[in-house]
Amino acid sequence: MATRKRKRPASFYVLATLLGAYAVFLYAPMACVYVLSFQGPQGGMSFPMVGWSTHWFQVLFQGTGGQGVGDIPSAFRRSIRLALIVGVLTMIISVSAGMAYRRKFPGANFVFYSAIASMVLPGIFVGFGIALTFNLLGWRVNWFSSGIGAQLTWTLPFGMLIMFIVLGRFNPAYEEAATDLGANARQRFWMVIVPIILPGIIAITMASLTSSYEETARTQLNVGTGNTMPMEITGLLTAATSPVIFAVGTVTTFVSFSLVIASLLIMTRLAKRRSSRTAQ
Amino acid sequence: MNLSQLKPKAALPEPEKTHLKQATQGHRFDAELVAVTKSYGPGAPAVDDISLRIPRGSYCCLLGPSGCGKSTTLRMLAGHEDVTEGAILIHDEEVTHKLPVDRGTSMMFQDYALFPHLSSLDNVAFSLKVRGVATTERRKQARAYLELVQMDHLADRLPNQLSGGQQQRVALARSLITRPKVLLLDEPLSALDPFLRIKMRSELKRIQKELGISFIHVTHSQDEALALSDMIVVMNDAKIMQAAPVREVFETPTNAFVARFLGGQNVLTSDTHQVSVRTDRCRLGRSPGMRSLEGQIAMIEYQGNLVRITLQTTLGDEMTVLQSDTEYFAQNPQIGDTAVMSWHPSDEHVLDPMQAG
């Protein structure tokens, strides 16, 4: 049956223009950064391009930029190490908390709200408070103690909230069926619950990984002597006078996108493996 | 896990169907409830002091409106709900405080609860996997049970790639592979469309006869209960209204609730007694020697070989006359007509007035 194509209303064009403007506003400046990062060795921090090169990437990776370019590779390693640890810790704690909260227990609400409250506390003061407390107790702030702790105050509320939602929607009949079929608590957890909520677990880990990687407010006073990536970049922004800063932008974007694509690939592979699994 | 409890299930069958027969000998009742009460708090109990004996190899339906306690009763039998008071026996052995897996029961859940991350075959093999049976062995056995429910050709599918009816077959196989003494089914047909429902219920009946074990089936559908049951347990308000063979429950309901809930009966007052009369024994028109009631025809439903005529009496009660189509077309009554419904006194069945529903 051939239906005549309906004319689009005027509002469609208005909204489409708005969306287009938004996309340009978001991505055009980024594109400038990516293009400028390939500036020639003689080029400056703005257009026009004086030839094309990967000079500023070399400067960046050698960490010999001078002029306020710090030790980016070390900062990157520090940040990634921190992010991996925080990501795994957030995953373990969130899943455990989620499992615990499927039953009511005395004080459950208090614990819940006190954990969630740290989402709305101003980060810089949380960080400051942690640093002060460490100072008061005569402990040194360090990335593996106060640093991880400070970041967890940021990633945990989100991780736990996601897990509460995921497990809140988990059909208890799955577990009852498993019990009925003879599974004990450990088998129920590993053979039924974890496989079913695996997408949620991966999401929590990736989300806390990236938010740890980007966090400064809580981290800066608590991470100890070495800078993390965001701190390094902030320093660079205020001091650098060369296109190295653009190279940093390009590399950072690349890393972020790789992470996102990697997690998407893992997810689709999981889904595929499930649907194409052939039992002998 | 206590391995000795699994002994009765240890001798597992060869894939031939005849060997899937699971009935055992030497006990009186397949399942027994002794004065079982379930309360969740200080209010009215969900199940109130019920006793029930289910004979060997019965298809038993727990029938009642929602909230009557039938599902709770089933879940107590399964061990997914604690018993507040009373005792539960399976094959004459007390299981009141045993784990679900140690009772010899297996439950089929309302939404089937198939594990979404496992193929049909691995769903069926799950109970063997948790007992540590090797992969090839458990898959071989699981395949035999998939064959029993005619699902072996879809062994590799995930639950979300199966239709409702197919999922149900897999769920049934997954329950049966545990070699239960009693299979518990929680509204197993409610998620299916009407056509499949009728097909699956004959399938359930066939498998129950083939295995020779008892099925206890919770439903709120009278048709389903009548079609399947050897024994019907009608429940209302946390109590058993009547538990008896299907014919007895239909023909001689103990009280007005059972008579009305099963359908097919008019509940009326005759000689100060509350009685029930089967709708197919009632007629339109006066006849000598028959009792009668006057009213107005409120509704006529043509059902093919039968016609259901609803009469609104002067007291506001609704009565039903089930006529054959020949009789109906001969009399040709119309909606709005004043009519008389009559019945023979010998067709009256006296109801227990104490529990008038």
Pairwise pLDDT comparison (A56 vs B203), residue with the higher score: B203
pLDDT computed for residue B72 by the predictor = 93
Q: What are the sequence ranges of the domains in chain B? A: 55-78+98-250, 266-351
Q: Does some domain include residue A165?
A: yes
Residues B240-267, mean pLDDT to the nearest whole number: 91
In a domain, A147, yes or no: yes
Could A179 and B130 be called an inter-chain contact, meaning their C-beta atoms sit closer than 8 Å?
no
The pLDDT of residue A70 is 64
Please state which of the ranges A188-202, B17-31, B86-100, B140-154 shows the lowest mean pLDDT.
Answer: B17-31
Angle at B54 between CA B51 and CA B55, to 5 degrees: 140
Residue A266 lies in a domain: no
pLDDT of residue B4: 38
Alpha carbon distance B123, B141 (integer Å): 12
- Bigger pLDDT: A273 or B176? B176
Mean pLDDT within A257-280: 71
Confidence of residue B21 (pLDDT cuts 50, 70, 90): low
Report the percentage of chain B scoring pLDDT > 70: 92
pLDDT of residue A4: 63
**Residue B229 pLDDT greater than 90, yes or no:** yes
Model confidence band, residue A67 (pLDDT cutoffs 50, 70, 90) = low
- Give me the mean pLDDT over the B134-143 stretch: 92
Q: Output the six-digit token pair for A239.
A: 């001091």
Is residue A189 in some structural domain? yes
Helix axes B164-176, B120-130, angle to 10 degrees: 20
Map residue A27 onto helix, strand or coil. Answer: helix
Query: Which residue of B1, B113, B156 is in closest CB contact with A177?
Result: B113
**Amino acid identity, position B18:** T
CATH code of the domain containing A89: 1.10.3720.10
- Model confidence at B354, pLDDT cuts 50, 70, 90, reads low
Is B5 in the A-facing interface, judged by CB distances under 8 Å? no
Polymer length in residues for chain B = 357
Residue B16 clears pLDDT 60, i.e. is over it: no
CA distances from B250 to B60, B234, B349 (A): 14, 11, 11
**pLDDT (0 to 100) of residue A276:** 58
Contact: B107, A180; criterion CB under 8 Å: yes
Q: For residue B284, which of B248, B226, B332, B214 has the smallest C-alpha distance? A: B332
Range of the domain at A175: 77-229
Helix or strand holding residue B75 (H, E): helix B70-78
Q: What is the DSSP string of B205-263?
A: HHHHHHH--EEEEEES-HHHHHHH-SEEEEEETTEEEEEEEHHHHHHS-SSHHHHHHH-
Pick from B9, B101, B138, B141 the residue to mutate for testing the A interface (most A CBs within 10 Å).
B101
Among the residue ranges A233-247, B13-27, B205-219, the one predicted with the least confidence is B13-27
Residue B242 CB contacts under 8 Å (≥ 6 apart), including other chains: B232, B233, B234, B249, B253, B254, B255, B258
The answer on pLDDT for A280 being more than 70 is: no
B35 touches chain A (CB under 8 A): no
Whether the pLDDT of residue B355 is over 70: the answer is no
Q: What is the mean pLDDT of residues A106-111?
A: 87
- In chain A, the percentage of residues whose pLDDT exceeds 70 is 92
Query: Of A166, A174, A180, which to mutate for an interface test with B (greatest number of B Cβ within 10 Å)?
Result: A180
CA R_g for chain B? 24
A182: nearest CB among B80, B115, B127: B127
pLDDT at B184: 95
CB contact under 8 A, A176 and B109: yes
Closest by CA position to B104, among listed B121, B90, B92 = B90
**Angstrom distances, CA of residue A25 to CA of A21, A49, A170, A247, B57:** 6, 22, 41, 21, 74
Among A61-70, A157-166, A176-185, B111-120, the minimum mean pLDDT is found in A61-70
- Do the chains contact at B115 and A183, CB–CB below 8 Å? no
Instruction: Assign B8 a pLDDT band (cuts: 50, 70, 90).
Output: very low
Q: List CB contacts (< 8 A) between B175 and chain A.
A: 180
CATH number among 3.40.50.300, 1.10.287.130, 2.40.50.140, 3.40.190.290, domain B55-78+98-250: 3.40.50.300
H or E stretch covering B105: strand B105-108
The tally of domains found in chain A comes to: 1
pTM of the complete model: 0.78
Residue A67 lies inside a defined structural domain of this protein: no
Contacts of A173 in chain B (CB under 8 A): 109-111, 113
pLDDT in tens, A115-125: 888 888 888 88
Architecture of the domain made up of B266-351: Beta Barrel (2.40)
CB count within 10 Å of CB B150 equals 12
Whether the bond between B288 and the residue before it is cis, its omega within 30 degrees of 0, is no
The region of weakest confidence among A46-55, A146-155, B303-312, B336-345 is A46-55
Partners of B122 on chain A (C-beta within 8 Å) are: 279
Burial class (CB in 10 A: 0-12, 13-18, 19+), B130: buried
Higher pLDDT, A273 or A36: A36
A21-46: pLDDT as tens digits: 999 998 888 888 888 888 777 777 77
Predicted pLDDT at B205: 92
CA distance A269 to chain B (A): 14
Within-domain flag for A95: yes
Whole-number average pLDDT of chain B: 87
Residue A16 in any domain: the answer is no
Rounded mean pLDDT of B123-146? 93
Strand-strand pairing, B231-236 and B59-63: parallel
In chain A, what residues touch B123 (CB-CB under 8 Å)? Answer: none
Please give the ipTM for the structure prediction: 0.81
> According to the model, what pLDDT value does residue A232 have?
78
> Coil, helix or strand for A63?
coil
The pLDDT value given to residue A127: 87
Residue of A nearest to B120 (CA): A279
